[in-house]
Chain A
Amino acid sequence: MTHRGSRVLHVGSLSRVEGEGSLRLRVHDGTVTEARLAIYEPPRFFEAFLRGRSYTEPPDITARVCGICPVAYQMSACAAIEDACGVTVDPAIKSLRRLLYCGEWIESQALHVYLLHAPDFLGRASAIELARTHRAEVERGLRLKKAGNSLLELLGGRAVHPVNVRVGGFHRVPARSELRPLQEELRRASEDAWDTVRWVSGFDFPDARVDADLLALAAPHTYAIESGTPSVLRSDGTFGSFPVRHFTHRVQETHLAHSTALHSRLDGHRHLTGSLARFAISGRQLSPVAREAAVEAGLGDPREGAVCRNPYRSILVRAVEIVYAVDEALRIIDAYEPPGRPHTEVPPAAGIGHGATEAPRGLLYHRYELDESGTVTDALLVPPTAQNQGAIEDDLRRFAQHAIAEHDADDAELTTLCERAIRNHDPCISCSTHFLDLTVVRTSGGSDA
């Protein structure tokens, strides 16, 4: 046993993740005894101040939970409130929502692939540094990201916290002619997305396997985004699903004896949401062009039930999902006829409503309780990163243990390894302040000024 046999490793401020967190690794006699992704993002109390607001307000209010995936919050909020009020929106509105959501998927997945994740594979600190040697690639990533934002800006008014979403649908729907200029940008994006798949499939991927149960929405005949049934591919290969209204019975916080953290568990098992889970559960529903991209990326044929459990390779799945979202956006625009009315009327009703949609980084669940006047009396938001924390920490533990056992990795190597393990899952720490216990023990303060 070397002097490195026992140590505590602490990274005060994680970089290239959304929001602020830190990680702590405790090693005793060569064994990792604690691997913790700590959230020191200050609490903002959304569930508390949503009480007393009108049922029309959660889409705008909860968008502010996350500047990276505001559409996901708006869509889950609308779904839950419409469920509480017993209203199903017109199919044309559902389709337009999916188009808006495709914009967020393209923007957010391109952000993660190019600006947050790719620098790890190429040994750079940032995309800006990467641009010194890979200018064309970074420009391509920014162009893709911009195509997603163009969709968000046209349909939503702006990219961050769009203004055009309301319970029941939209304030205003575009004419066919307004969508036309987007087609050209999206066709270019389609080429860029394919080039992205080819580019990232040339990266070196360490061997790794996440054993968690995979949780994603599934929908008939389509890759689930804005609606679907929560479905689970368990680590033993069995498959199951449950109604959204049972979400909080199935996904629960568990207090682990060895830690002060409350972890979210699905039926008592560690679970993972996000790209890997979606690809495993809905891969068969990818469009032909996206399936082809998956094969090109080396992920296997989704029609034959290809599953990817290597979290490093999640960048491949995100690239395939960009191909899909661009293709899907073009399909929706091509078939678009303006809905007869911009929104379906949603009269207030007393009740409890549940909504779940696929945020770029995983399943986002909302629940609201309304009184007869439509006032929110109770609210619950369960973001994907809060669900993924247990699986992320399990990766941290196993990756670090392997590196120590195999070649007695030093602190610098372990730090890089752990940061990569976290970025693999595109955590959104701004969101995850709900549902989690925050150890606000802010070790070293995370201060950096």
Chain B
Amino acid sequence: MDATSGTRTPTLAVFKLASCDGCQLTLLDCEDELLALAGRVEIAHFLEASSAVAPGPYDLALVEGSVTTPQDAERVHAIRAAARHLVTIGACATAGGIQALRNYADVDEYRRTVYARPEYIDTLATSTPVSAHVDVDFELRGCPIDRRQLLEVITAFLAGRKPDVPDHSVCFECKRRGTVCVTVAHGTPCLGPVTHAGCGALCPAYGRGCYGCFGPSGSVNLPALIPLLRRDGMDEEATVRFLHTFNAPAFDAAGRESRPSEEGVAK
């Protein structure tokens, strides 16, 4: 960010749409770095952390959450207009999040199910990522995002370079970590072969299969993975549910583009 080359302190803003707060909390979870970061940037807008709010434009805006209301569909344009660089953080902002399960259902029925006075609930039929509405400079994946990756992204934008966030699959991280493949060794259904790295391959390290919370990796080969899930006991419904949780529309899109690739899945 060229803001750093001048004398002016770069400004950071954090915005929230439909979400759980977990990704912006990840910034406050940088306990060892938070005060140092606050010395390098002016935190100009971060409602969860501060009641002092400075107007834009902002050098870097982090946006958590998906677009689910007519108001937020307008608001993302205002945020984009106020942000020199806009980075979306987390599965909600990058893929619609778990609330995108409404995209496959009747939202009016959902409304009647949950709320006693459904007429008060103003909501869109779909939950969509910010990139469906405005240009986004970078998308950081994860439900939730990884703290180290968040620091890398903020540091990279401050330094005016591209974030070092590889889009390979979780399998690479298991290999690096030395975790025995849960599918090969135990026949545990695992989405690691098709899931974007970033978490450090947590689930297999805890003896469970990856559940895809970082969304699809850069090269997804569902036709190779699905027979393995079936072999390991998942019927069609269970397979659909497995892919349709935290990043459902993104896995669907990856599935449509899916073709055999050099990135092999566990055999």
B31's partner among A60, A128, A146, A262 (CB-CB below 8 A) is: A146
User: By the criterion CB–CB under 8 Å, are B99 and A45 in contact?
Assistant: yes
Q: Which residue of B lies closest to A164 (CB)?
A: B206
How far, in angstroms, from A49 to B109 measured CA to CA in the complex?
A: 11
Q: Which of B71-79, B153-161, B254-262 lines the interface with chain A? A: B71-79
B20's partner among A13, A67, A159 (CB-CB below 8 A) is: A67
Contact with A along B217-255 (1 / 0, CB 8 A): 000000000000000000000100100011000000000
Is B16 part of the contact surface with A, judged by Cβ < 8 Å? yes
Of residues 116 through 152 on chain B, the ones whose CB sits less than 8 Å from some CB of chain A are: 116-117, 120-123, 127, 143-144
Q: Which residue of A lies closest to B69 (CB)?
A: A42
How far, in angstroms, from A131 to B105 measured CA to CA in the complex?
A: 48
Is A133 part of the contact surface with B, judged by Cβ < 8 Å? no
Is A402 part of the contact surface with B, judged by Cβ < 8 Å? no
Q: Which residue of A lies closest to B114 (CB)?
A: A47
Q: Which residue of A lies closest to B35 (CB)?
A: A131
User: By the criterion CB–CB under 8 Å, are B52 and A161 in contact?
Assistant: no
Q: Contacts of B23 on A, CB cut-off 8 Å?
A: 67, 160
User: By the criterion CB–CB under 8 Å, are B120 and A440 in contact?
Assistant: yes
How far, in angstroms, from A122 to B157 measured CA to CA in the complex?
A: 34
User: By the criterion CB–CB under 8 Å, are B15 and A44 in contact?
Assistant: no
Q: A16-B49, A45-B102, A67-B23 are in contact. Are A437 and B31 (CB under 8 A)?
A: no
Contact with B along A165-177 (1 / 0, CB 8 A): 0100001100000
Q: A160-B22, A163-B203 are in contact. Are A448 and B117 (CB under 8 A)?
A: no
User: By the criterion CB–CB under 8 Å, are B114 and A48 in contact?
Assistant: yes
A14 CB, min distance to chain B CBs, angstroms = 7
Q: Contacts of A260 on B, CB cut-off 8 Å?
A: 120
A390 CB, min distance to chain B CBs, angstroms = 16
Q: Contacts of B52 on A, CB cut-off 8 Å?
A: 125-126, 129
B120's partner among A13, A342, A437 (CB-CB below 8 A) is: A437
Contact with B along A417-447 (1 / 0, CB 8 A): 0010000000010100010011110100101
B88 CB, min distance to chain A CBs, angstroms = 14
How far, in angstroms, from A60 to B210 measured CA to CA in the complex?
A: 12
How far, in angstroms, from A26 to B163 measured CA to CA in the complex?
A: 49
User: By the criterion CB–CB under 8 Å, are B48 and A18 in contact?
Assistant: yes
Contact with B along A118-129 (1 / 0, CB 8 A): 010000011111
User: By the criterion CB–CB under 8 Å, are A447 and B48 in contact?
Assistant: no
- Taking A43-B68, A57-B245, A125-B52 as known contacts, 4 extra A-B pairs with beta carbons closer than 8 A to each other, sorted by chain A number, are A15-B47, A16-B47, A67-B20, A448-B47
Ordered nearest first, which 9 A-B pairs have the shortest CB separation?
Answer: A67-B22, A126-B50, A125-B52, A15-B51, A48-B110, A449-B78, A146-B31, A142-B31, A160-B144
